[in-house]
């Protein structure tokens, strides 16, 4: 009996695995068509200066509106795009769409709006990365200082390579954030070597303001201040979290408390009502 059970469990497991694989392959095929089918869209989440209350910029966040499955979150499709390499054309489309949008808002009378764009490791490691970024800036006419590239700690394990690329971005006047900071297990010593402009505190630390998490947030903010890097807290959802961050003089905030990521026209409405 035990053997039978083991066998049926095994069969079920492999069948599920196959279904997962089929599902993934189908999704991957659709993902290849997503841009030409106009299914990819960017939403933008505002970021605010804690001291002045001004909206300093937005983070572009990709949304995939699948014709049959509806909205698919980046947490689901970015890993598939990354693994299959489709992230390269999609990432370039994201970069160009975001820069074009920032330039448009600047021309509409909001000259200081900064555009943060997430790049994935495949893009960062691509030999043409810097060239692609420069071409997009040239094509869209966006001043490089209003582009902020978000990378994660885990992308910087090759310190020499990262330093070279980050230095090139810096030389071009492009800003760089380390996203999800504090979760990547990387050495802190690289921070002083990398010419970065922003640290984004990962939202896990804010979710529960336990004594160890508050200590970590304090440490990250102190570290950034000592290195003259601006700190952004993401995932701010409550007044309590906001108050805590302002007491520590965190520079900027982003989160549902202020605004969810919004489609283009919603941001345009917001820009009419908030200080920028």
Q: Which residues bind ligand C2E (CB under 6 A)?
A: 45, 60-62, 73-75, 78, 94, 118-120, 150, 179-180, 203, 234-237, 255-256, 261
Query: DSSP 3-state assignment of 205?
Result: helix
Integer CA distances (angstroms), 121 to 78, 85, 233, in order: 11, 11, 22
* Contacting residues for 243 by C-beta, under 8 A, at least 6 apart: none
Residue closer to ligand C2E by CB (options 115, 221) is 115
Considering only 45, 101, 118, 126, the residue that binds Mg ion (CB under 5 A) is 118
Cα 266 to Cα 270: distance, rounded to the nearest angstrom: 6
Task: Judge whether 114 and 57 are in contact, CB under 8 Å.
Answer: yes
Min CB(4)–ligand C2E separation in Å: 43
* Shortest Å distance, C-beta 240 to ligand C2E: 13
118 or 197, CB closer to Mg ion?
A: 118
Task: Report the nearest approach of Mg ion to the CB of residue 153 (Å).
Answer: 11
Which neighbouring-strand residues pair with 230? Answer: 198
Is the Cβ of residue 96 or residue 180 nearer to Mg ion in the bound state? 180
Q: How far is the CB of 106 from Mg ion (least distance, A)?
A: 21
Query: Considering CB distances under 5 to 8 angstroms, the limit depending on partner class, which of ligand C2E, Mg ion, none binds residue 127?
Result: none
Please say whether the dihedral angle defined by the alpha carbons of residues 120, 121, 122 and 124, taken in this order, is positive or negative. Answer: positive
Residue closer to ligand C2E, measured from CB, 193 or 264: 264
The candidate with the shortest Cα–Cα distance to 96, out of 124, 127, 62, 52, is 62
Least separation in angstroms between CB 154 and ligand C2E: 11
Q: Among ligand C2E, Mg ion, none, what binds residue 153 when CB lies within 5 to 8 Å by partner kind? A: none
Rounded (5°) CA angle 240-188-124: 95
96 interacts with Mg ion by CB under 5 A:
no
Tokens of 247: 């007491």
List binders of Mg ion among 137-196 (CB under 5 A).
150, 179-180
- Distance, CA of 175 to CA of 102 (rounded, Å): 14
- Report in angstroms how near the CB of residue 26 gets to ligand C2E at its nearest: 21
Binding partner at 255 among Mg ion, ligand C2E, none, C-beta below 5 to 8 Å by kind: ligand C2E
Partners of 262 in the beta sheet? 44
Positions in the binding site for Mg ion (CB under 5 A) = 118, 150, 179-180
């Amino acid at each position: 009996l035990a053997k039978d059970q083991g066998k049926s469990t095994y069969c079920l497991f492999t069948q599920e695995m196959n279904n997962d694989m089929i599902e993934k392959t189908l999704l991957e095929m659709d993902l290849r068509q997503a841009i030409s089918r106009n299914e990819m869209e960017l939403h933008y989440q505002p970021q605010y200066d804690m001291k002045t209350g001004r909206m300093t910029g937005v983070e572009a966040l990709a949304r995939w509106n699948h014709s049959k499955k509806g909205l698919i979150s980046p947490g689901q499709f970015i890993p598939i795009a990354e693994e299959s390499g489709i992230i390269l054309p999609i990432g370039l489309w994201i970069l160009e769409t975001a820069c074009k949008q920032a330039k448009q808002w600047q021309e509409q009378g909001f000259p200081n709006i900064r555009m943060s764009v997430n790049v994935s490791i495949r893009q960062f490691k691509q030999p043409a990365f810097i060239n692609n970024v420069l071409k997009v800036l040239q094509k869209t006419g966006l001043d490089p200082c209003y582009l902020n590239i978000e990378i994660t700690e885990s992308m910087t394990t090759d310190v020499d390579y990262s330093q070279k690329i980050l230095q090139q971005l810096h030389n071009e006047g492009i800003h760089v954030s380390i996203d999800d900071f504090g979760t990547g297990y990387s050495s802190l010593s690289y921070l002083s070597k990398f010419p970065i402009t922003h640290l984004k505190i990962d939202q896990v630390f804010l979710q529960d303001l336990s004594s160890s998490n508050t200590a970590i947030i304090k440490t990250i903010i102190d570290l950034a201040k000592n290195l003259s890097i601006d700190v952004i807290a993401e995932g701010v959802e409550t007044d309590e979290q906001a108050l805590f961050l302002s007491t520590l003089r965190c520079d900027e905030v982003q989160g549902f408390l202020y605004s969810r990521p919004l489609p283009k026209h919603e941001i345009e409405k917001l820009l009419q009502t908030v200080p920028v």
